[in-house]
Structures are given as structure tokens and as C-alpha cells.
Structure 1
Amino acid sequence: MAASKTDKAGATATKKPNPALMKPLQPSNELAAVVGSSPLPRTEVVSKVWEYIKANNLQNPADKREILADDKLQAIFGGKRKVSMFEMNKHFAQHLS
């Protein structure tokens, strides 16, 4: 069993959300085609892209960790037809400012 972190007074420390992840960022035109053009926090961008992937059945049925990109996602993923779900966030960084 993992022990929870406590401060000097013995109270359990709560993890605070990273404010950098909550800052709204402007999506590029390519990313806006999937998530919309208004500024969004990274967490919301990821959620909206996953909604798009699931709505359009773009997960590889043999390996759910693999995304099969359509034309819109290919523009975000640097022309790649397939990316892993772990690689996906790296591509978002290039499309948010």
C-alpha cells in the first residue's frame, strides 16, 4: 500500500492543478478544424480530440492505443497516417500558441 505524503503538521497534502495546463491557448487552423477556433486549455483540447476520434471510429480495432488519422488529424499529426495515443500530445504542442 502506498503511503500518502504529509506535511510537517501531519495533514495530507492535496495535489494542486498545474496552472500552465489550464491556460487557454489558441489552436492553429488545422487543430481548429477538430476542436473549434476559440482558445482552450490543453486538457480541453485533448478531450475534444478524443471525442472526435471516438465519434469517427478512428481507433485501430486491433490496438486501441493506435489512432488511424483521417485528413483532419493527418494535418495535425505531421502527415502521419497512424500515431500512438502517447505520441498524440506531442503533436498538439506544435498547434497551440
Structure 2
Amino acid sequence: MVYVIATLTVKPEMRAELIAAAREAISATRKEEGCVAYDLHESVDDSNKLVFVEEWDSADCLPVHSKSDHMRAFGRIAVKCFSAPVKVEIITPEKVEKR
């Protein structure tokens, strides 16, 4: 089992566009082999801080996911919506990796 926590800070004026694109990516991702859970959450303190919480069968699923057509499409939209670098943590039972 592997978990991914991706924290995004979005420009307020781009928030709706990012969430619309995320909904499409989430729907497609949940159908991917190895995806156990894939959700987007909003910070209770800052509505422009969004957090993807992902659960995968194994780390081997992640490269396939990141290269999928729906994630590439999401990335093209998302990159113009960020107001800060994305923070991604990959969490396994053994360790936490930061990218």
C-alpha cells in the first residue's frame, strides 16, 4: 500500500477552473488499476489550499497514473492555476518520501 498527499495552493481566480478539471481527473483516476481511493479536499483554514489524498495498491501504479491521458490533461490546466509550488509526499508503511 502507498499513499500520496499532494498539496496545491491555487490562485483564487483560478480555483473554479482547477476544481472542474480535477473532477474529470478524479473520475478517470478512480477507474485506474491499483487505485484504492482518490479524493480532493479543501483546507478548513484556506479555501485556496487543496489537498489530493490518494491510496494505491503499490508504488508501481504511480508512474502509470502520472503518464495517463487524463492526468496530462489535468496538468496542462492545473499548472496555470497554482500560486505556489505543489508539495507531494509519498507515504509507505516504511517511510515518507518528499518530491
Fold shared per TM-score above 0.5? no
Say which structure is richer in helix.
Answer: 1
Say which structure is richer in strand.
Answer: 2
TM-score by length of 2: 0.29
TM-score by length of 1: 0.29
Higher RCO, 1 or 2 (CA under 8 Å, sep at least 6)?
Answer: 2
